[in-house]
Structure 1
Amino acid sequence: MENRNWKRKFIALYTGQFFSLLSSAAVQFSIIWWLTDTTGSPLVLALAGIAGFLPQALLGPFAGTIVDRHSRKVMMILADMIIALGSLFLFLWMYYSEPNITLVILVLIVRSLATAFHMPAMQASVPLLAPKEHLTKVAGWGQMVSSMTNIAGPAVGVTLLAVSSLEWVLLFDVFGAIIACSVLLFIRIPSVTRTEEMATDNLIAEMKEGYHAIVKHRLVLKLTIVMIVVAVLFIPVGTYFPLMVRNHFEKGVVEAGIVEIVFAIGLIVGASFLGVLGDRFDKVKTMAAGMILMGISLFISGLLLPSMFYVFVVMSFLVGLAGPLFSAPFYAFIQAEIEPQLLGRVFSFVTSLSLLAAPIGLGLAGFFTELTNVAVFFSAAGLLIVLNAAVTVKVK
């Protein structure tokens, strides 16, 4: 693909997405902390996690097919605006009435449904804008933007929670979505030509095309299974970071924010590394290395004494560093191997499979943590991730 201006387009695209992701990160941190501080229950946090992931997983295959049928830019704009409206509704409710846990869960469901369209539209747009040989590098850039917002997001959330309350963080999410959508209006994302065979009105048939594209590519299928296992283990860990800070280390919202920020700094370092040198390394081996680093860091985290909070901060940095090392090469591999006209469906299937596994992980983690404690769960998850890395190395 010859496109001299592809870097400029990505600068504009990621600038707009920065504000959307920044506000979403602030909302996500604030809601999780509010639920943690209000209930202190691992099962409530597990329910919140399921509300955030399961709708996206169930809708994903249909959403990917719709994304492939329509403008990917329009899909991203509509998804951002739906998320903003959900946050605005919750803001108005909390401003004029008492906070309600059930309503918070419902808004998480709406956000999840909209994300089901936004994620495949975004990922499927990347190979339409960037040269194939630079897809891993571009994936690193995307991870870097996401990581920067994960640093600033919790900081914004902590600041707003300290001086006001949850509803004002929700209002900030509305402004972030407006900025992101405004920027998208000025970016031209090429359309994908639908072949005569693809020009069908049968939604189910098109969904099957995405499924078969994964199954027929054996390495894509194997790596997808590997990522599903990681999702089962890591998504509950991400949900329980505030619980680890509060229950095991007996710290407050400021320390929880520090952990989230340091974790995001690690993400930036890992993404920056891939953004500069990512195209030079074997994708599968890089994925395995990231899993090993993450697994060891989580295992050590669970063994720490309550007085060793700042060692946990260091481990959180390493967990963040490991994230882009296995996620970015995976997405870049799919973008390079699958035809552009199928990418929306393929990414939706991959995401749905991972997210369908996540509620299982969250449910098991909730009961496991209730029976033991959150520190034991961290160590167990870390050990299993290391074992998964050993399997990944042998994938061919």
Structure 2
Amino acid sequence: MWKQRNVWILLIGEFIAGVGLWTGIIGNLEFMQEHVPSDFAKSLILFTGLLAGVMIGPLAGRIIDSYSKKKVMIYAGIVRMISVLFMFLAIEFESVWWMVCFMVTIQLSAAFYFPALQSLVPMVVKEKDLLQMNGAHMNVATISRIIGTALAGAMLVVISLYSLYIASFVAYGLLLLSTFLLSVDEDEKENEMVNKGKKAASFKEVLPVLKGLPIAMMALVLTIIPMLFLGGFNLMVIEISELQDDSTIKGLIYTVEGCCFMLGAFLVKRISEKVNPIRLMFIFTSVVAITQLSLYFSDIKLLSLISFGVFGFSLGFFFPITATIFQTRIPKEFHGRFFSFKSMLDRVMFQVVLLATGLFLDTIGFHLMVLVFGTISLVLIFYFALRHAKVSQETLMNEQKSPSV
């Protein structure tokens, strides 16, 4: 796998995109802090971009399934660069409306780019290497997040916000150039047939496909469990910092979680060769649920760091495994629509969990909230574990009843 040129292009491109994305996010927060006094107005601006990405999702999925994934990524890259130009105008005229344009266009770009990228990965590497590739890809994304945020914070001390976005613009330009270098053998005849068929096809076709694939449906629903943690991650970190009356704990939590995530993603390929990936998925979702419950004792510094470290390590296994399940079990002609559907679901779930976390923190408090989230997670795991065992037993019985050929 590591000898393939396309693999390195995708990973380097992901790193560049991540650095550009996170420097841009820090820049956005800095701009809003200067020009948007209301916290509610800030949330509305962020929500506007999210809503645009969700609304365009069905169209993005159909286009990705109908045309070359590489071309979709190239056009999305161009839109991403155009979005940064809106931010230059926002800074020049100190206009929040131009920033809204930036948020909308960059989310539209992401709605096309990332599902197309996930659909392209199975075309770049062999099926046996998918798990390793997904783990490496997520590690690179994590590293770029750490470097991007640290770099942006350091840059803002010595350079202007305008210069920060120039750096982001250059990063996106390099990403676009790297996309042109991809050499993927996409079957043009198949694309033509798919294109003709999808003119009248509905985005809703994904749902019957999922119903016919219990493993994929189960993996999709189980992503709710880490989302219950991730959606309110920042709010929980702030709350733990206040509980311990220690501002330094925030940086330690992010560092420990990120490092443990990379360790898990590095080990997932080796462990999955010895243990069934489906079993691993259940094991690590159970660990995530227990970790949520363990946050009840987050007043203790060491225990809170251990909880976030174990959480990060578990996600390092969970996300590559589920990504591989989706890429291998979902038919390739549905990849674009499925990954667009998943992206929409993730965005909506993230916002719902974020709002629920804020509401629970204000009403029932941190300690009861983590018990509620942990209990919900354990119930979901128990239900799907029983369902998976039943389906596996029925499949085995059918195989035994079928006459041997």
TM-score bucket of the superposed structures, by smaller chain: 0.7 to 0.9
Tell me the SS of whatever aligns to 2:216. helix
Question: Which residue is 1:282 aligned to?
Answer: 276
Change over 3 Å in CA distance of 1:190–1:250 after alignment to 2: farther
- How far apart, CA to CA, are the structure 1 residues paired with 2:126 and 2:55? 32
RMSD value, Cα? 3.5
Task: For residue 170 of structure 1, report the CA deviation from its aligned partner.
Answer: 3.3
Question: Which residue is 2:18 aligned to?
Answer: 21
- Which amino acid in structure 1 is aligned with residue 69 of structure 2? R
- How far apart, CA to CA, are the structure 2 residues paired with 1:30 and 1:189? 35
Structure 1 spans left out of the alignment, 5+ residues: none
Question: Which residue is 2:194 aligned to?
Answer: 198
TM-score, L = length of structure 1 = 0.82
Change over 3 Å in CA distance of 1:62–1:265 after alignment to 2: same
Question: Which residue is 1:184 aligned to?
Answer: 179
Task: For residue 164 of structure 1, report the CA deviation from its aligned partner.
Answer: 4.6
Question: Which residue is 1:219 aligned to?
Answer: 215
Task: For residue 130 of structure 1, report the CA deviation from its aligned partner.
Answer: 1.1
Task: For residue 291 of structure 1, report the CA deviation from its aligned partner.
Answer: 2.2
- How far apart, CA to CA, are the structure 2 residues paired with 1:50 and 1:5? 39
- How far apart, CA to CA, are the structure 2 residues paired with 1:110 and 1:71? 21
Judge conservation of contact 2:127–2:328 (CA < 8 Å) in 1.
Answer: yes
Tell me the SS of whatever aligns to 2:4. helix
Judge conservation of contact 1:223–1:392 (CA < 8 Å) in 2.
Answer: no
Task: For residue 198 of structure 1, report the CA deviation from its aligned partner.
Answer: 3.3
Question: Which residue is 1:108 aligned to?
Answer: 103
- Whose RCO is larger (CA < 8 A, sep 6+)? 1
More displaced stretch, 189-198 vs 285-294: 189-198
Give the total of aligned pairs. 387
1:297 aligns with 2:294: no
* 1:45-84 to 2 correspondences below 5 Å: 47=44, 50-51=47-48, 53-84=50-81
Q: Which has more radius of gyration?
A: 2
Judge conservation of contact 2:83–2:101 (CA < 8 Å) in 1.
Answer: no
- How far apart, CA to CA, are the structure 2 residues paired with 1:37 and 1:245? 27
Judge conservation of contact 1:50–1:362 (CA < 8 Å) in 2.
Answer: no
Change over 3 Å in CA distance of 1:110–1:382 after alignment to 2: farther
* 1:81-92 to 2 correspondences below 5 Å: 81-92=78-89
Judge conservation of contact 2:240–2:298 (CA < 8 Å) in 1.
Answer: no
- Which amino acid in structure 1 is aligned with residue 130 of structure 2? L
User: How far does the alpha carbon of each residue in 1:151-184 deviate from its partner, in whole angstroms, 9 at most, with x for none?
Assistant: 2122223322444565544333222211111112
* 1:240-251 to 2 correspondences below 5 Å: 240=235, 243-244=238-239, 247-248=242-243
Corresponding residue to 1:331 among 313, 320, 323: 323
Judge conservation of contact 1:22–1:149 (CA < 8 Å) in 2.
Answer: yes
- How far apart, CA to CA, are the structure 1 residues paired with 2:195 and 2:268? 37
Question: Which residue is 2:259 aligned to?
Answer: 265
Question: Which residue is 2:132 aligned to?
Answer: 137
Tell me the SS of whatever aligns to 2:360. helix
- How far apart, CA to CA, are the structure 2 residues paired with 1:304 and 1:196? 56
- How far apart, CA to CA, are the structure 1 residues paired with 2:217 and 2:292? 27
- Which amino acid in structure 2 is aligned with residue 186 of structure 1? L
Task: For residue 313 of structure 1, report the CA deviation from its aligned partner.
Answer: 4.0
User: How far does the alpha carbon of each residue in 1:6-53 deviate from its partner, in whole angstroms, 9 at most, with x for none?
Assistant: 633202221122111122133335645876899899866765664454
Change over 3 Å in CA distance of 1:339–1:293 after alignment to 2: same
Task: For residue 244 of structure 1, report the CA deviation from its aligned partner.
Answer: 3.6
Change over 3 Å in CA distance of 1:304–1:239 after alignment to 2: closer
Task: For residue 373 of structure 1, report the CA deviation from its aligned partner.
Answer: 4.8
Task: For residue 377 of structure 1, report the CA deviation from its aligned partner.
Answer: 4.1
- How far apart, CA to CA, are the structure 2 residues paired with 1:162 and 1:250? 27
More displaced stretch, 384-393 vs 195-204: 195-204
Judge conservation of contact 2:14–2:137 (CA < 8 Å) in 1.
Answer: no
- How far apart, CA to CA, are the structure 1 residues paired with 2:55 and 2:234? 20
User: How far does the alpha carbon of each residue in 1:130-163 deviate from its partner, in whole angstroms, 9 at most, with x for none?
Assistant: 1112211211111111121122122223322444
Change over 3 Å in CA distance of 1:43–1:241 after alignment to 2: farther
